[in-house]
Structure 1
Amino acid sequence: MKSFKADYVFPVCADPIKNGIVTVDDNGKILSVTDQNAPPPVDVPIEQLSGILCPGFVNTHCHLELSHLKDKVKQHTGLVNFITDVQKFRGAESSMVLDAAQKADMEMYENGIVAVGDISNSNISIKPKTASKLYYHSFIETFSFLPARASDTFNNALQLLNEFKPLSCSITPHAPYSVSKELFKLIQKHSEVGHNLISIHNQECDDENKFFRYKLGSFNDLYASFGIDISFFKPQARNSVQTIIPLLTDKQEILLVHNTCTNLKDIYFIKRFDRKINFCFCPNANLYIENKLPKIELFIGQGYNITLGTDSLASNTKLCILSEMRTIQEKFPLVSTAQLIEWGTINGARFLGIDDEKGTLEAGKTPGLNLISGLDGLKITPETKVKKLI
């Protein structure tokens, strides 16, 4: 056994404990979470630390297989240019892709991340995930805006899904602008039984909504550049998320990722439907691509589970949940550190369905243990760091 004492312990499942003590066994299982008035047995060494002790972080949105694209895609060029560049640069020797994925996996581990919701378009990440110390759920992502290709695309996803098993995995749509109604319906039918978590990129730029409302903007140019005829697509007279919410399953948890241009009308529209919606924010990627952040304050208090993600090294400089927290608190000072820790731990664990083991500091769980130091009181600063203890 070993005990760690810090200025504060954030169990997440309970109020913060000043001068709290967390005791763990050699396997990282939490034995007790107490205050200084109820110390562990006298024969257990106590390591005194400065900062906050909290559970390991949960990263609900990543693209491990794009890790080799770090520093290859220009910043602030907009989503359509970003997509074009990713397609241009993503082809590489498998050994290079694999090596970068393994390094990215270790980076997340060292930054106190214990679980990841990861987007997969190929089988390249199976090996590093199998060997990883992290828990992964792989989202097998589907792309096809052409109705005639829906069945073939879905069947290909099924084949890839079987390659990932027995690892935790599911079939998911990529984004409203890249998945046909026919493909959405096939995924919805597949989700009627069993366990099939959904994670979908949502409203990353203004042109996504412009495309769905009026069939205007840069997405027309994107499809033209790929040689795809979208003459069949008609303006929907509503934003993208309002168009696709009725096509999503009501049987599975759904993660809407990014939400950079989601407005209050969209949120109220979503509330009209019986869907199990969660929201994920990846602020550093939003700044990297669009130089714009979602209106996070609109989502608080709406009753939805909010999680955090890093996106990929193609759209971020590091894979670190604390870095995402720092950006949010800098831009939205009213979001407390306690709230951000909740978003980055238990909320992600709940979405991934692993909250029986991860997300909170409770006796019997193995959630990992992080030390957050360099705070200004309880505020995150540019000097704030995370250290993985367990």
Structure 2
Amino acid sequence: MKSFRADYVFPVYADPVKNGIVTVDDTGKIISVSDNPADHHTPHVEKLDGIICPGFINTHCHLELSHLKDKIARGTGMIDFIKGIQGFRHASETDIIAAATQADADMYNRGIVAVGDISNNALTASIKAGSKMYYHTFVETFSFLPERAQEVFDKAVDLLAQFRPQPSSITPHAPYSVSKELFRLIKNYADTHDDNLLSIHNQECDDENKFYRYKLGGFVDLYQFFGMDISFFKPQARNSLQSVLPLLSSKQPILMVHNTCTNLKDIYFIKRFDKKINWCFCPGANLYIEKRLPKIDLFLDQGNNITLGTDSLASNGILCILTEMLTLQQNFPALDTGRLIKWATLNGAKFLGIDKDKGSLEPGKTPGLNLITNTDGLKLTENSKVVKLA
């Protein structure tokens, strides 16, 4: 067994423990969390400065885009970012696999224990199968053209089989890239298959809402750029989230990712439906692409689970959940460390359905063990780093 003492231990399921001690066995299973002063003097306790918390859960990543690090210009907006991604879609498999393998190792070393990962091909399947982290793969579907819905869905089913028996599911990409017909096929599948978690990119830019409300803005130009005839699409007179929410399954948990331009009316709108909505924030990617962040304050205490993600190295300089936490704290000082740690651990584990084993320092679990260094009492600082303990 190993025992670690720190300035604070965050079990997550309970209040922080000052001068707490965490004891784990050789497999990383939590034996105990103690606040007994007598335990501090036992010889096997390693004394550390900082905060001990569970391993981090990254609920939104694109491992297969890791080869695009520093390839796409920062701050040019969502439309140009999409064009940039498409320009690199035909990179060599050797480069894609090498970069993804390195990214997988880097995430593990930065204290991440589980990942919700988006995939459009099977190149990362073997990496995930051999990873030290838990993966749930979201097989992503694209097609805004109604006539292609069945073809695209069938290909997604075939791709899903290449990831099995790893945890995986079929999911829509975004409101602007999935037709109603394709949404319905995914809904029918999700309604009839267990554990088909859903993850959808939501309201990443103003143009997405403009397109749905008025059929105006950058997405009209983007479809022209790709040579697509969207004359069939009629303005919905409401934001994208409100337009597509009725098309999503009520049976499965749904992760709304990014939410950069989600407003209070959108948040209240979801309360009218029996949907299992979770929010995921990826602040590093929001700043990289749009140079703006979601209005985090609107989402607090609304009754929905909130998680954190990194997005991809195409839109972020580093796949590190602690970095995402620091970005949020710097921009929203009212967010306390306890709330951020819960978003980064237990909430992500709950969405992925692995909270019986991950997400909190409860005896019997193997959640991973992180030390956050260079803290100021209960607060993170710009110099805080993460060290993986178990």
- TM-score normalised to structure 1 length: 0.98
The residue that corresponds to 2:222 in the other structure is 222
Partner AA of 1:257 in structure 2: V
Q: 1:264 to 1:38 in 2, by over 3 A?
A: farther
Aligned mates of 1:71, 1:332 — CA distance in 2:
27
| Offset of residue 227 of structure 1 | 0.8
Conservation of the 8 A alpha-carbon contact between 2:7 and 2:377? no
Partner AA of 2:98 in structure 1: D
Task: Provide, for residues 139-180 of structure 1, a one-character-per-residue CA deviation record: whole Å limited to 9, x for no partner.
Answer: 000000001100011000000001100000000000000000
The residue that corresponds to 2:25 in the other structure is 25
Aligned mates of 2:382, 2:50 — CA distance in 1:
15
Partner AA of 1:115 in structure 2: A
Partner AA of 2:17 in structure 1: I
**Runs of 5+ consecutive residues of structure 2 not aligned to the other structure:** none
Aligned mates of 2:144, 2:351 — CA distance in 1:
27
The residue that corresponds to 1:295 in the other structure is 295
Conservation of the 8 A alpha-carbon contact between 1:326 and 1:381? yes
Task: Provide, for residues 252-304 of structure 1, a one-character-per-residue CA deviation record: whole Å limited to 9, x for no partner.
Answer: 00000000000000000111111000000000100000001000000001000
Q: Counterparts of 1:98-137 in structure 2 under 5 Å?
A: 98-137=97-136
What secondary structure, in the 3-state scheme, does the structure 2 residue paired with 1:23 have?
strand
What secondary structure, in the 3-state scheme, does the structure 2 residue paired with 1:39 have?
helix
The residue that corresponds to 2:263 in the other structure is 263
The residue that corresponds to 1:93 in the other structure is 92
Conservation of the 8 A alpha-carbon contact between 2:5 and 2:47? yes
Task: Provide, for residues 29-63 of structure 1, a one-character-per-residue CA deviation record: whole Å limited to 9, x for no partner.
Answer: 11111113362895x61100000000000000000
Q: How many aligned positions are there? A: 389
Aligned mates of 1:357, 1:296 — CA distance in 2:
29
What secondary structure, in the 3-state scheme, does the structure 2 residue paired with 1:172 have?
strand
The residue that corresponds to 1:184 in the other structure is 183
Q: Counterparts of 1:1-390 in structure 2 under 5 Å?
A: 1-37=1-37, 39=39, 42=42, 45-193=44-192, 194-390=194-390
Partner AA of 1:70 in structure 2: K
Aligned mates of 1:41, 1:351 — CA distance in 2:
39
What secondary structure, in the 3-state scheme, does the structure 1 residue paired with 2:342 have?
helix
Task: Provide, for residues 11-44 of structure 1, a one-character-per-residue CA deviation record: whole Å limited to 9, x for no partner.
Answer: 00000000000000011111111113362895x6
Greater shift in the superposed pair: 349-358 or 370-379: 370-379
Conservation of the 8 A alpha-carbon contact between 2:118 and 2:140? yes
Aligned mates of 2:176, 2:261 — CA distance in 1:
14
Aligned mates of 1:15, 1:152 — CA distance in 2:
51
Aligned mates of 1:276, 1:256 — CA distance in 2:
10
| Offset of residue 131 of structure 1 | 1.0
| Offset of residue 68 of structure 1 | 0.1
Aligned mates of 2:8, 2:291 — CA distance in 1:
35
Instruction: Give me the CA root mean square deviation.
Output: 1.0
Partner AA of 2:357 in structure 1: E
Conservation of the 8 A alpha-carbon contact between 2:139 and 2:169? yes
Partner AA of 2:339 in structure 1: Q
| Offset of residue 71 of structure 1 | 0.3
Conservation of the 8 A alpha-carbon contact between 1:173 and 1:200? yes
What secondary structure, in the 3-state scheme, does the structure 1 residue paired with 2:37 have?
coil
Aligned mates of 2:28, 2:145 — CA distance in 1:
49
What secondary structure, in the 3-state scheme, does the structure 1 residue paired with 2:191 have?
coil
Aligned mates of 1:219, 1:322 — CA distance in 2:
33
- TM-score normalised to structure 2 length: 0.98
Conservation of the 8 A alpha-carbon contact between 1:309 and 1:321? yes
Conservation of the 8 A alpha-carbon contact between 1:2 and 1:23? yes
Conservation of the 8 A alpha-carbon contact between 1:3 and 1:40? no
